Chains A and B, each alone.
Chain A
Amino acid sequence: MTSTSTHGVPMAERLSLWANRNRKWLFAAPAMVFTFLLICIPIGWTLYLSLTDAKGSVRRPADFIGIENYVEVLTDTDRFWPAVGRTGLFTFGALALELILGMAIALLLWRSFRGQRWVRVSILLPFVATPVAIAMMWRLIFEPNIGFANRVLSWVGLPAQPWLADPGMTLPTLIFIDVWEFTPMVAIILLAGLSTLPDDPDEAARIDGAGVWQRFWYITLPLLKPVVLVAVLLRAIDALKTFDLLYVTKGQGGGSFHEAETLNIYVYGLSFKYNDFGVASAVLILFFLMILAVMWILTFRRKGAKL
């Protein structure tokens, strides 16, 4: 097939010309098509399932029941709303503590000192190590009878605590573990931000007689704001979706009293234990909307926000 315009240019060369001219999409398409197939089709299907009475098996023909699942979920004060509350509490509690402690650690490690490299490596370990291993480790440490936590308490003369075994203490303990695991990540992101800050404003303020606290509050923090926002976004998204830690420490349903049942754990149980796909899908859509809302609030008025 020789057209007049190409004058018998060899096929390979024509192909290469075409590839070079269209490289913008040629390069981007595979990743985008892959992600599109893996995200949009499942989300669309979840949306469809949420409007049906699918249960037991997704192969079973399901009837369209409109928004019934959503009504059921939104009026469910037994499992759904408590799960929403726990998700919010866990996310907000962990995030707030991680930000404060992460900032403190970042400031502590900011100016160079001997052995800095080793300190950085040691605080890197909690969040690169396998989450399941971390969860297992804390299960052993918080074991009421043989755990390290109660040994430390006994050394300082405090009574032993039930930790994860007590429904009332479970969520705070889990927040503690999450804070232990991810404060270093926040600290390292903030530290990277700190190291790019210009010295001049701080110098100038120092010469003008500003104290340490004033310089932090009025100079460093405002300059660091974009980096803080990125850290907040990354952590908020991941904390909302925490699964490994909760599932490994408390199992399906978030323990016998659902004390650790966040939305993620709740949906997992609905989908893979009870095969209640219609209701699970409705919860998922609501969960997804909540995440989008949180993202929107966090990036509000921030143009060109990059995740």
Chain B
Amino acid sequence: MTTTSAAPARTPLPRRRRPARARAYTAFRTTMIIFVVLVFVVPLLWMVMASFKTNVDIQDTTKTFAFTPILDNYANVLRNDSYLSFVRNSFVVAAGATGISLLLGVPAAYSMSRFNMQKSALMVLLARIIPGVSLLVPWYYVFANLGLVGGYSVLIISHMFILIPISVYIMMSFFDSMPRELEDAALVDGLTPIGAFLRILLRLSAPGVATAAILSFIFSWNNFMFALVLSGANTKTLPVAVFDFVSYASIDWGAIMAATCIMTLPIIVVALLAQKYIVSGLTAGATKG
């Protein structure tokens, strides 16, 4: 509490107390913010640190923060040719699924937004609530009969199942916010409706498409369950490959942490560069009930 001198009139009490309270509040708030950041960042730092430790150092309780960093874990993981092929698999699947999902999802979102196709939109969004396992047995059966299991196409198709709702959902709220007059003006200028969509609306909604693309890529990159069942030895994606590392008898924590760091790195870079898009994509629709 503030010590208030008996001196009257000149400085009224509330004025003298305010700044002190405000300062106390700011200090409290800053402390809390730092605490929150630490809670979310320290575990990640622990993962990164472990990837630079020898397995002896990881077990040494006296070397929690003070240790000599080594690159052996990364070298071991990257020397393994198959790990690089897992990275490639993840890229091929994520890029392929993202591309095709946008190709199908963006026009669909436009139609659903413009023509108020609430029920159709709901059907696409049904994909969000269905448990993925319920689809895996039938998918596996059908795709195995078509001779596709073990190829990229199955993984791309299964990931599209998650990504199309994401694209539709993000793009719908984007098109919803675009004035109809834009399109009308283009029609007056002699463009066909499809031309107006392709040349005017699509160009103006580039940030929306970027948002959908970034989130789609992240979701596909992160997917585990579909890839666990549907990938073959040659199409294993990173999450499945990293998970496989632990199934062996002795757990090489250093190598595993190096592998997880390599797997997470692209996402962290994307998150740093495209923070705005990720936030707007995840909250699309959320802010308008």
Give A residues with C-beta under 8 Å from B: 16, 19-20, 23-28, 30-32, 34-36, 38-39, 41-43, 45-46, 49, 58-59, 105, 108-109, 113, 117, 119-126, 128-133, 136-141, 143, 145-146, 148, 151, 154, 180, 184-185, 188-189, 192-193, 196, 226-227, 229-231, 234, 237, 240-241, 243-244, 247-248, 263-264, 267-268, 271-272, 277, 280-281, 284, 287-288, 291-292, 295, 304, 306-307
Contacts and interface: CB of A to CB of B under 8 A. Distances in A.
Contacts of A272: 136, 229
Nearest to A270: B133
Given A120-B275, A131-B224, A140-B46, A35 B161 contact: yes
Interface of B: 29-30, 32-33, 36-37, 39-41, 43-44, 46-47, 50, 58-59, 61, 64, 104-105, 107-108, 110-112, 114-115, 117-118, 120, 122-139, 141, 157, 160-161, 164-165, 168-169, 192-194, 197, 218, 221-222, 224-225, 228-229, 238-239, 242-243, 246, 253, 256-257, 260-261, 263-264, 267-268, 270-272, 275, 278-280, 282-283, 285-289
A151 B126 CA distance: 45
A280 B29 CA distance: 50
B105 A31 contact: yes
Given A184-B40, A292-B129, 19 more contacts: A25-B111, A34-B160, A35-B127, A124-B275, A128-B267, A129-B44, A129-B222, A130-B267, A132-B263, A133-B260, A136-B243, A140-B253, A146-B58, A180-B43, A196-B287, A230-B285, A248-B224, A264-B131, A267-B134
In the complex, the 10 A-B pairs of residues with the closest C-beta atoms, listed nearest first: A226-B289, A31-B108, A42-B138, A27-B107, A192-B283, A132-B239, A27-B111, A133-B260, A28-B111, A137-B47
B275 A243 contact: no
Given A122-B41, A189-B286, A226-B289, A132 B242 contact: yes
Given A32-B108, A125-B268, A132-B224, A288 B287 contact: no
Given A24-B115, A27-B108, A244-B225, A128 B127 contact: no
A277 B137 contact: yes
Nearest to B215: A128
Nearest to A269: B133
B128 A284 contact: no
A244 B132 CA distance: 12
> Which residue among A125, A141, A196, A281 has the maximum number of chain B CB atoms within 10 Å of its CB?
A125
A127 B261 CA distance: 15
A191 B216 CA distance: 22
> Is chain B's interface secondary structure helix, strand, loop, or mixed overall?
helix
A31 B168 contact: yes
A48 to B, nearest CB: 10
Contacts of A229: 289
Given A30-B104, A130-B263, A151-B64, A46 B40 contact: no
